[in-house]
Structure 1
Amino acid sequence: MKKILLFGAGKSATVLIRYLLDHAAAEHWQLTIAEANLQLAQSKLNNHTSGKAVALHTEDGVRRRALITEADIVISMLPPALHILVALDCLDIGRNLLTASYIDEALLSLKASIETRGLLFLCETGLDPGIDHMSAMQLLNRIRNKGGHITGFKSHCGGLIAPENDNNPWHYKISWNPRNIALAGYAGAVYKENGVLKELPYNLIFENCPTLEVPSLGTWACYPNRNSLAYIPVYGLETAATVIRTTLRHPDFCTAWSFIVKAGLSALTDTELINSYRHKSVAEWFTACLNFYTRSNTFDDFLSRYVPATKQQLVATMFRYLGLLDLVPIPPQATVSADILQYLLETRLPLAAGDRDMIIMVHEITYQVQEQQRQITSSLVVKGDDAMRTAMAKTVGLPLGIATKLILNGTVRTTGLQIPTSKELYEPILAELQQNGIRFTEEDEIV
């Protein structure tokens, strides 16, 4: 009997848990979910005989280490900042670790030790990052195998609301970690376009976003995502003139969010301001932010001074929908403006029980082969079943579940700090994803 330990049972873990339980009997697995909210974990297990839930606050090092010691493999679906606690224990105890999150500096510092111990820490094995890496590498290697030379690479991905449930002016509902939504673009972006290195600070990320037409699903704005240059050596794109990874949102979302940023509503450093408004309303906090960050006296003043006339009605409607002018109290747990913004996102843009979310991923790869310039456009569209079995939960959870199976049954034997860009990983994971309805369509044409 192989013992799997999963830390976290949140939104994105639902389908992962179901996959592990569905395969438990055949694969001889026992799943343990460690979660601060015991009732949540128990609800995801639904009394399955191959699963058990334990209450755990991740900072409880003694209990955390005991659970890892009992496990054969560990999966962390915790907030990214907490992965390092689990990783250090896995390194010390000698357990393989999987996550869907980006490799950060803390994990990168363990790289040599992970290799020395002969362990596998497999990260970025969810949707984005994850399926994007695997599908891109499969395409790039196929092009290279037929003698093609890559000249441009664009990869776009968005967790969105399905058109049939798009019924608010933001054209968005939350299907994953709301903190990441509140802080989208915060780190700025670096990418390469037509041979020119470009760097955008946070305040420019959402301005004048280019758009992408997705057949039958409309037009989507693309804002650049973090450091695209980091993937040049990973994907072997040193000679490509364009390398950019973007996030997809409705164009109205990006228009309004650029003014969310301008108004300082996602700030992480204004504790003093929040403390002075501790017992006041959201509307009063909003006005204070406008005063502090833009020297605007009122919302109407802000609109007239900063928002183009053609966009003022749109921005006003979207800000009001988000509750920025409401007289409700500021959430007591808020310490910075970003906390209040996150609270508003969670309460005003929830995914209702019957709603379906939608994932769109598109790769645009230009290449030259036999004196011919060509472009492959590879597209993935996945819709959720409901607010529990979301498209986000499917596309984040299934790759992790499949990878867990491949490691436990010995199909994958690689070690070290890895992301799923090797054929050993991406071929079997993508093949099983296709069996679960997660498949790309392709067009390859002369340009």
Structure 2
Amino acid sequence: MKNILICGAGRSATDLIDYMLKHAEEHDWNVTVGDISVEAAATKIDGHPRGKAVFFDSNDEEIMQRYIKDADIVISVLPPGMHAAVAKVAVEYNAHVVTASYASSEMLELHEKARNRGLTLLNELGADPGIDHMNGMRSVDRIKAKGGELLAFTSFCGSLVTPESNDNPWGYKFTWSPMNVITAGDGGARYYQNNQLRCVPYHRLFADPHEVNLPGFGKFEAYANRDSLPYRKKYHLEDIPTMIRATLRFPGYCEGWNAMIQLGLTANNYRIEGSENLTYRQWISSYLPRGNSDTLEEKLAQCINTAQKSELFQRILWTDLLTERPITRVNGTPAEILLDLLLDKWEFKQGDTDMLVFYDRQEYKIGDQFYEHLSYMVTKGQDHAHTAISRTVGLPAAIGAKLILNGEIKSRGVVFPLLKEVYEPILNELDALGIGFTSHDNRIEKSQLLYS
């Protein structure tokens, strides 16, 4: 018998929990789901005889130890900043760990200790990061296997609403961690393009999105995602001229979000004392140029360099930023105050459906002939509970945990899904579950960089 502890019962945990419970009898698993809301955990378990809901708080060392000490594996779907604390306790009690998030420096520090204890700390095993890594690495390995020389690696992913649920001028609703959306890109981005290092500071990140045409699905726009530089080494492409990872949005989003950044509304490093005494109109007024000659609307239009009749201005007007709607956040940061407003305006409502869009393009050559390798996938959520983000985040983590428990993943220490022993069985099972890529290769006359 194996004991599995799942930390977190939020929206992205639904399909993970369902998978582990579905296979619990077959593999003789006991599944404990811990969350700060026992009710939420119990709802996800839904009375399954192999499941148990408990109160779990990653800020409480005693509670963490109480449940981790009996676990063979811990799957953390908590906010990213909490994974390392959970993993540290897990290593002390000789439990494997799986997360769907980027590995922090604190997580990486556990590598040697975990490896020496024969433990696997499998990170970045969700959608992005996760499925994007695995599909990209599979493509790279296949190209190299036939003698190809990689010239460009571009990877795009976006969590979006389906066209049927796209009923607001931003083309966006919250389907995952809302605050992560508000602060996305605040560290800027770096990538390589034609052997040139490109550094994009936060204040320019959304100002010049790149157009992406996805066969059969139309146009999207993309902004560079974090730091692509380490992935040259991770993908064993240290000398590749172009390496770019980017995030997809529907057209118009980046222009609107760039305006929010330029206004200063996404800052999360200071607080507005007495914010609860302001309306949103009063709040945004404090960010606009001084002077009494213009209306607030005129000042805003001038500040973001647009006309009041423009789509950009109407997009911002739709958010209710210029209304007398009261701010409820006490001493909030600008990002928190904006978040509270958008939680209502960008609500993922009952009846809405989401989708995950993946699109990879690699350029390579064999001899003197150039080729492009295209692979793409659009997977849609089933309903409000079983969303695309829940499936694409939860199922890779669940399958990875199963492989560790069954002894099929033998790598130890901090591990990423770029190893064939990890990505191949996970992608194969995802494909069987209806989450698979369409891919093909085309001959091209010369290098045709998508991201230029």
Q: TM-score range by the shorter chain?
A: over 0.9
Residues 282 and 23 of structure 1: CA distance in aligned 2, closer, same or farther (over 3 Å) = same
Q: In the TM superposition, what is the alpha-carbon distance from 1:42 to its structure 2 partner?
A: 1.1
CA shift for structure 1 position 106: 1.6
Deviation at 1:334, TM superposition (A): 5.4
Distance 1:84 1:149 in 2: 37
Q: Distance in 1 between matches of 2:309 and 2:400?
A: 48
Checking the alignment, whether the CA contact within 8 Å between 1:382 and 1:438 is kept in structure 2 is yes
What is the CA distance between 1:58 and its match in structure 2? 1.9
Residue among 426, 429, 439 paired with 1:429: 426
2:450 alignment partner in structure 1: none
C-alpha separation in 1, matches of 2:123 and 2:393: 12
Alignment-derived partner of residue 204 in structure 2: 204
Q: Distance in 2 between matches of 1:324 and 1:71?
A: 48
Whether the 8 Å contact between 2:276 and 2:330 is mirrored in structure 1 is no
1: CA distance between counterparts of 2:295 and 2:369?
59
Contact 1:120 1:417 in 2 (8 A): yes
Separation in 2 of the partners of 1:442 and 1:334?
50
Following the alignment from structure 1 to structure 2, what is the Cα–Cα distance between the partners of residues 201 and 207? 10
Cα 1:368–1:324 change in 2 (3 A) is same
Distance apart, 1:297 and its partner CA: 7.7
Residues 158-185 of structure 1: CA deviation (Å, up to 9, x unaligned):
0011111111101111111101111111
* SS of 2:395 mapped into structure 1: helix
The 5-angstrom pairing of residues 370-381 of structure 1 reads 370-381=367-378
- Say which of 435, 439, 444 aligns to 1:442: 439
Counterparts of 1:334 and 1:386 in 2: how far apart (Å)? 36
Whole-angstrom distance in 2 between the partners of 1:129 and 1:308: 36
Tell me the matched-pair count.
441
Equivalent residue number for residue 302 of structure 1: 300
Match of 1:261 in 2: 261
1:327 aligns with 2:304: no
Residue in structure 1 matched with residue 403 of structure 2 by the alignment? 406
Following the alignment from structure 1 to structure 2, what is the Cα–Cα distance between the partners of residues 192 and 39?
47
In the alignment, which of 339, 349, 368 is matched to residue 336 of structure 2?
A: 339
Q: Give ranges in structure 1 of 5+ residues lacking alignment.
A: none
CA distance in 1, matches of 2:270, 2:274: 10
Taking a change above 3 Å as real, the CA distance of residues 37 and 47 of structure 1, as seen in their structure-2 partners, is same
Structure 2 residues not aligned, in runs of 5+: 445-452
Larger deviation, residues 425-434 vs 322-331:
322-331
Q: Is the 8 A contact 2:288 2:303 kept in 1?
A: no
Report what 2:282 is aligned to.
284
Give deviations 1:329-371, integer Å, cap 9, x for gaps.
2233553111112222221111111111011101110001132
User: 2:32, 2:53 within 8 Å by CA — same for their partners in 1?
Assistant: yes
Structure 2 letter corresponding to 1:358: M
**SS of the residue 1:65 aligns to:** helix
Q: Compute the displacement of 1:83 (Å).
A: 1.2
Amino acid at match of 2:305: V
Amino acid across the alignment from 1:275: E
In the other structure, the counterpart of 1:394 is 391
State the 1:308 CA deviation. 3.6
Question: Which amino acid is the alignment partner of residue 400 of structure 2?
Answer: A
Q: CA deviation at 1:291?
A: 5.0
Q: Distance in 1 between matches of 2:67 and 2:56?
A: 10
TM-fit CA distance, 1:324: 1.1
Identity of aligned residues (%): 38
Equivalent residue for 2:449? Answer: none
1:218, CA displacement in angstroms? 1.6
Matched residues in 2 for 1:443 and 1:300: separation? Answer: 51
Match of 2:55 in 1: 55
Residue 239 of structure 1: how far off its partner (Å): 2.2
Alpha carbons of 1:297 and 1:68: their partners in 2 closer, same or farther (altered >3 Å)? Answer: farther
Aligned counterparts of 2:306 and 2:345: Cα–Cα separation in 1: 25
Which residue matches 1:180? Answer: 180
**1:391 is matched by which residue type in structure 2?**
A
Q: Does 2:6 align with 1:9?
A: no
Compared CA separation, residues 285 and 305, structure 1 to 2 (3 A): closer
Q: Quote the offset at 1:112 in angstroms.
A: 2.3
Tell me the equivalent position of 1:135.
135
Shift of 1:80: 0.8
Q: Is the 8 A contact 1:33 1:53 kept in 2?
A: yes
Q: Residue 275 of structure 1 aligns to a residue in which SS?
A: coil
- Give CA-to-partner distance per residue, 1:204-248, whole Å, 9 cap, x none: 000121110112322111100000001000001222111000000
The alignment status of 1:368 with 2:353, answered yes or no, reads no
CA 1:321 to 1:306, structure 2 compared with 1: closer, same or farther past 3 Å? closer
Q: CA deviation at 1:68?
A: 0.1
Change (3 A) 1:334 1:33: farther
Between 1-10 and 330-339, report the one with greater CA deviation.
Answer: 330-339
Supply the distance in 1 between the matched residues of 2:173 and 2:4 (Cα, whole angstroms): 32
Quick check: 252-261 or 335-344, which moved more?
Answer: 335-344
Q: Distance in 1 between matches of 2:147 and 2:302?
A: 56
Contact 1:232 1:243 (8 Å CA) reproduced: yes
Asked if 1 retains the 8 angstrom alpha-carbon contact of 2:110 and 2:413, the reply is: no
Instruction: Identify the range of structure 1 (296-305 vs 95-104) with the bigger mean alpha-carbon deviation.
Output: 296-305
> Aligned partners of 2:73 and 2:305: how far apart in 1?
52
Which of 341, 347, 351 is 2:348 aligned to? 351
- State how far apart, in whole Å, the 1-side matches of 2:433 and 2:324 are: 46
Tell me by how many angstroms 1:312 deviates. 5.6
Please give the alpha-carbon distance, in whole angstroms, between the structure 1 residues aligned to 2:62 and 2:270. 35
1:195: which partner in 2?
Answer: 195
More deviation in 220-229 or 233-242? 233-242
Contact 1:68 1:95 in 2 (8 A): yes
- The one-character-per-residue Cα deviations of 1:39-69 (angstroms, maximum 9, x if unpaired) are 1111111111111111122211101111000
SS in 2 for 1:300: helix
Residues of 2 paired with 1:125 and 1:343: CA distance? 30
Letter of the structure 2 residue corresponding to residue 70 of structure 1 = D
Select the residue among 313, 316, 336 that pairs with 2:313: 316
Instruction: Give the corresponding residue for 1:90.
Output: 90
Distance 1:331 1:67 in 2: 37
Q: Distance in 1 between matches of 2:195 and 2:295?
A: 44
